[in-house]
Structure 1
Amino acid sequence: MSQNPSPPGEPEIAGIASAFADPRRARVLMALADGRALPAGRLAEEAGVSASTISNHLAVLLNHELVAVEQQGRHRYYRLATSEVEGVLEALARLAPRAPITSLRAHTRAHAIRAARTCYRHLAGQAGVDLFQRFVGVGWITGGDGLHRPETAGDRLSASGKGEQYRLAPEGARSLEAWGISPKLLSTVRPLRYCIDWTEQAHHLGGPLGTAITDRLFDLGWIVRDKVPRSVNVTVEGEAGLVALMPSS
C-alpha cells in the first residue's frame, strides 16, 4: 500500500532572491525582459563585465531556472525562462529606490526606458500611460481615469493593479476589432488587467489585450524597438495612426 506523498514545504524565497540580488545579474535579467534572446557577449556589455565573468552569472541564473538557453549555430542565446520572471522584475522596480544618474549613458538609458518600453510584452512608460488615457478619454475604456492613487486599497505600487475595475466599452470593442484585434480578447464584461507604471506612477493597459495591442503596434510599424533593452520608439507613422484611430476626446 503506497504512502501519500509529503506535502510541499514553504517556498525557499531567500535562495532564488539571491540570484536577483547581484546588480550584474539584475542588469542581465532587465536586458532580457523585453522577450528577446541575446548572446552572452551582448549580456556582458549590459552587465558591465568581461566575457569570462558573464559565464559565471549566467550559470547562476540557469541554475535557478530564471533564464533558458538555446543553441543557434555556434552561438548560445539566452532569454527569460518564464513571464513570471519579468513579473518579479516589474514588482521589484516598483519598490526599489531610484539609482542616481551619474553618466550620459545612464541618462540616455533612463530617458529611453521612461519614454516607452515593454512590460510583460505590453506597452509601458509615458507612451503606454498616454495610450491608456487616450482609451479612457474617448470612452473606449470605462471604470477609472488612469491615475494611480496610493491611498486606495489595491492600487499600491507593490501590487499589479487591482484598485480599479476597468472595462472595455462596446464602442472600444468594435473599434479595436476593426483595427485588427481578435474578438476573443474584446470582452466588455470581464475587468481589464492593468499595471501601475513604475516610472509614471499611473496606469497602463496589461493582460492579453495589452499584449495584443502592442503586437499590433509592432506589426504596423507604429512602434519599433530601440537600442536600449526593453525600450521602444513611437514612429511618425505611429503618432499619425493613433490620432486617426481614436477621435479627439
Structure 2
Amino acid sequence: MASMVSGITLAEIAALIGDVARANILSALMDGRALTAGELAWHGGVGASTTSGHLAKLSEANLIALERQGRHRYYRLASPEVAQAIEALMAVASFGPRRHRPVGPKDEALRNARTCYDHLAGRLGIAIADSLSLRNHVVLSESAGVITEEGQRFLCDLGIDLDAGPKGSRAPCRTCLDWSERRPHLSGRLGAALCTRFFELGWIARIKDSRALSVTAEGRGGLKSTFGIEIG
C-alpha cells in the first residue's frame, strides 16, 4: 500500500508539473525571486483567472509558497528541494528528442550564466565548482561536498561566513546536476552564499525577464583574480 500511495502521489505531482503553463510558471520562479500573479501570468502565457487556478493547485501541492507584503501577494518556490527537482527534470528533458528550433541569444545567455533558485548555474556555476575543487577548497562527491579548512579561509577572505544566519536543515554544500552543462554545480548554503556575494560585489547582474545573468566588467576581473576563471 505504501508503494501504491507513493506512486499515486508521484503521478499527481508529475501531472501538475506536466501542464505547460504550470511548467512555465515554475521555471520562471527558478531565479529565486518571488513574483506576482500578474508576472507569472505573463510567463505562463495564460490569463489572470487561469493563472489563479494554477497557483492554487501548485500551492496545495506545496510546490510554491505565498508571501504577503501589505496588500501585495508574491509567489516563490516552496523549497530548495523543489528547485532541485525542476532542474533535474530540465536535465532529463535535455536528453530528449531534439526540437527543430534555432538557438537564440536568450538560450546562449542561459547556458552561460543563470540562477538555479538561489545558486549559480550554467558555465559560470560549473567553472566555480571546478575552481573550488581543483584548489582543494571543496571535496565533491556524487551529490554533496565537504568544505576544507583551506576552503573556509578562502570563503572568509571572500566575505562569506556560512555559520552566520539561520541554517535550518539545509546542507552546507550540495551539488545539483546542471541541465545545460550536464555536470554538477554547487548548491546548498555554499552555493547560495556565493551567488549572494557575487551580487553584492557587482560581479553579476540579472537580465530582464529571464533567469539568465550577465557577468559585469568587475565580475570578469574578480572571477579571474579570485577563481582563475575567464568567462564572458
What interval of TM-score do these two structures reach, taking the shorter chain for normalisation? 0.7 to 0.9
Report the Cα distance in structure 2 between the residues aligned to 1:240 and 1:93, rounded to whole angstroms: 31
For residue 55 of structure 1, report the CA deviation from its aligned partner.
1.9
SS at match of 1:32: helix
2:99 alignment counterpart:
100
RMSD of equivalent CA atoms: 3.0
* Stretch of structure 1 that moved more, 166-175 or 90-99: 166-175
2:151 alignment counterpart:
172
Counterpart pick for 1:231 among 212, 217, 220: 212
Report the Cα distance in structure 1 between the residues aligned to 2:74 and 2:188, rounded to whole angstroms: 27
Report the Cα distance in structure 2 between the residues aligned to 1:193 and 1:71, rounded to whole angstroms: 30
Are the equivalent residues in 2 in contact too, given 1:40–1:54 (CA < 8 A)? yes
When Rg is computed on C-alpha atoms for both structures, the one with the higher figure is 1
Pair 178,191 (structure 1): closer, same or farther in 2 beyond 3 Å: closer
Q: Deviation digits for residues 65-113 of structure 1, max 9, x if unmatched?
A: 222223344442211222222122112112122663647xx83432222
Report the Cα distance in structure 2 between the residues aligned to 1:123 and 1:107, rounded to whole angstroms: 21
**Under a length normalisation based on structure 1, what TM-score does the superposition of the two structures give?**
0.75
Q: Note the residue ranges of structure 1 that are not aligned, 5 or more in a row.
A: 1-6, 145-154, 156-160
For residue 8 of structure 1, report the CA deviation from its aligned partner.
11
Pair 40,101 (structure 1): closer, same or farther in 2 beyond 3 Å: farther
Please say if 1:221 is aligned against 2:202: yes
Report the Cα distance in structure 2 between the residues aligned to 1:86 and 1:130, rounded to whole angstroms: 21
Report the Cα distance in structure 2 between the residues aligned to 1:143 and 1:43, rounded to whole angstroms: 36
- Percent identical pairs in the alignment equals 42
For residue 34 of structure 1, report the CA deviation from its aligned partner.
2.0
Report the Cα distance in structure 1 between the residues aligned to 2:124 and 2:101, rounded to whole angstroms: 25
Pair 114,183 (structure 1): closer, same or farther in 2 beyond 3 Å: closer
Report the Cα distance in structure 1 between the residues aligned to 2:149 and 2:62, rounded to whole angstroms: 42
User: How many equivalent pairs are there?
Assistant: 218
**Under a length normalisation based on structure 2, what TM-score does the superposition of the two structures give?**
0.80
Pair 134,66 (structure 1): closer, same or farther in 2 beyond 3 Å: same
Question: What pairs up with 1:1-249 in 2 under 5 angstroms?
Answer: 10-11=5-6, 12-96=9-93, 97=96, 100=99, 102=101, 107-142=104-139, 161=143, 167-182=146-161, 184=163, 192-246=173-227
Are the equivalent residues in 2 in contact too, given 1:30–1:229 (CA < 8 A)? no
Report the Cα distance in structure 2 between the residues aligned to 1:219 and 1:101, rounded to whole angstroms: 39
Pair 88,131 (structure 1): closer, same or farther in 2 beyond 3 Å: same
Structure with bigger helix share is 2
For residue 199 of structure 1, report the CA deviation from its aligned partner.
0.5
Could you tell me which amino acid in structure 2 is paired with residue 174 of structure 1?
A: R
Q: Deviation digits for residues 43-65 of structure 1, max 9, x if unmatched?
A: 11111112232222222212322
For residue 143 of structure 1, report the CA deviation from its aligned partner.
6.1
Report the Cα distance in structure 1 between the residues aligned to 2:192 and 2:24, rounded to whole angstroms: 24
Could you tell me which amino acid in structure 2 is paired with residue 94 of structure 1?
A: A
For residue 171 of structure 1, report the CA deviation from its aligned partner.
3.3
* Stretch of structure 1 that moved more, 27-36 or 167-176: 167-176
Q: Deviation digits for residues 151-193 of structure 1, max 9, x if unmatched?
A: xxxx6xxxxx36xxx54444333222111121649xxxx9952
